[in-house]
Structure 1
Amino acid sequence: MFINCKGTLVDLSKPKVMGILNVTPDSFFDGGKYKDEAKLLNHAEKMLAEGADFIDIGAYSSKPNAEFVSQTEELQRIVPVVELIRKHFPATLISIDTFRAVVAKACVESGAAIINDISAGMLDDKMLETVGQLKVPYIMMHMRGTPQTMVKLTQYDDIVKEMLSYFAERINTARTFGINDIVIDPGFGFAKTLQQNYEVLSKMELFKIAGLPVLAGMSRKSMIYKLLGTTPQEALNGTTVLNTIALSKGANILRVHDVKEAKETVKIFQISECRFASPVRALPSGQI
């Protein structure tokens, strides 16, 4: 199971970690932390040193009720960051968190290798056509409405069944535009209640029916800290637990704020999976 990132073939049969780099003032966890070049580069370097396989850059917060950001402002925020990271860390595989085709095109032309779209092409009717022309992998997420309206759109008869239908339609449409490498993201926290998030997680292996890689993005989200009555800052342990469950359900990519901990989770999960998959042999009598 490979994706082609501008000539670099990435094997997703072994789980990968995508580090988050938000260049927004209002992201729920790290908004406003990376305001200048030094801080941006230090954080990118830290994530790469810790083993990030991708860095996902976003310039438009997609948290519930996020403020609207114009296309011009999004471009002004994100393109210089892509260029900066490519200049200092040219081998970095950069993912762009955007639902706008113009932003996607500008970033790929500046060196980005993946487009990560929270709307699966539903918020910009030029997105799928543009990604098909750019020939880059496309991460499509499940969401209803927009970041400003999604909290009101949580009524489902059968949430997983409806999500599978959504992905079937979106994948088929993406294929008609020549998009070859597709990753699906269940969209934890997007148009879903706390209970619905956990229902989706409990049935996450069903998304493998599409035969495509699956990304899990639950890092420090409200499904953790609201359940535990804490804060995003205290949600690292919960994130690790959910990442472990996601891996057991077949996740191929973990999108996280904390790369070191996620890489450790993957390493332990992989060796444990190998051990558990091995036949159990009886020990000689008297040995434990």
Structure 2
Amino acid sequence: MVGAVLVLAGCTGADAGSSAEKVSPLNEYFMAISGGDLSPEEQEAKYAAEDKQREELMAQCMQDEGFEYVPMPTASVSFESGEEWKPDDREFVSQWGYGAVEYPGADEEPAPEEVTSDPNAEYISSLSESEQTAFYEALYGPAPSEEEMSEDGSYEYDWQTAGCSGWASHEIGGDDPLQSDEFADVMDAINTFYEEAASLPEIAELDRAWSACMDGAGYPGFATQSDAQNSVYDELNALYDESSPETGPDEAQFDAVHEREVELALADLDCREETDYRETYDKAQFAAEEAFIEDHKAELDAMKAAAEQARS
């Protein structure tokens, strides 16, 4: 079910032109499922409360395992969206293009990271090497075996083998309905829906009109609007592949890519405006999503209810 989560992250299709204030009918479901319909302040308060509860549960669990554990102080996390992204604004696009090479806030110095001392450090250092190994295995579970590791170093997480940390997180969040076998069929249907969205007759016709406009503007070869943006990232990836691993591309190379990016993004914006791309795209996409919801409303409502129950 990992693929389902990845699809949902980019389900608008033409991300470069999506309107931030619009939420599609299906995404409204997933915002409710994930808690994304909360305000930044509500999300921060929710995270802080859950983090505190998780640490207290971990302390209880570790005590049951025969170890001392002092709950870590609650971490501060911000859910603010940061710099406003305006892909349909000509002034914005003229400066940033697609935001591939340069983007708002890139030159800002990050806020100094608060260093929190581990209240368990002294206790852990008093343990023998074998006791420390046992401590961390009780806290986080045993390290994955070579058979469990994939080639890229990742492995499938299972809260039941993740020690007290996994147990505490599961006690708070419960089972993820998106990963549940109960909703596997509807998640597969959602994946298929998004994979086939580009072939909707209205969107296919829109892409042909946009592509013809781009061809006339001197940018042939792009079948869909997202192809234009992706071409810039492909050029950047090629630039890194051809550069020294130690130094990477130089500033002049980045500047050249950025100059081409802005010119391409402005032509793309012109053609989106000429074809009324975003409005037409959203109308077709939203109508298709509403029809999908009508066909799967019982399953979607059940999945939403399961998520809300797990969070309560």
Please tell me the TM-score bracket, short chain as reference.
under 0.3
User: Greater relative contact order: 1 or 2 (C-alpha under 8 angstroms, separation 6 or more)?
Assistant: 2
Structure holding more helix per residue: 2
Structure holding more strand per residue: 1
Greater Cα radius of gyration, structure 1 or 2: 2
Task: Output the TM-score relative to the length of structure 1.
Answer: 0.22
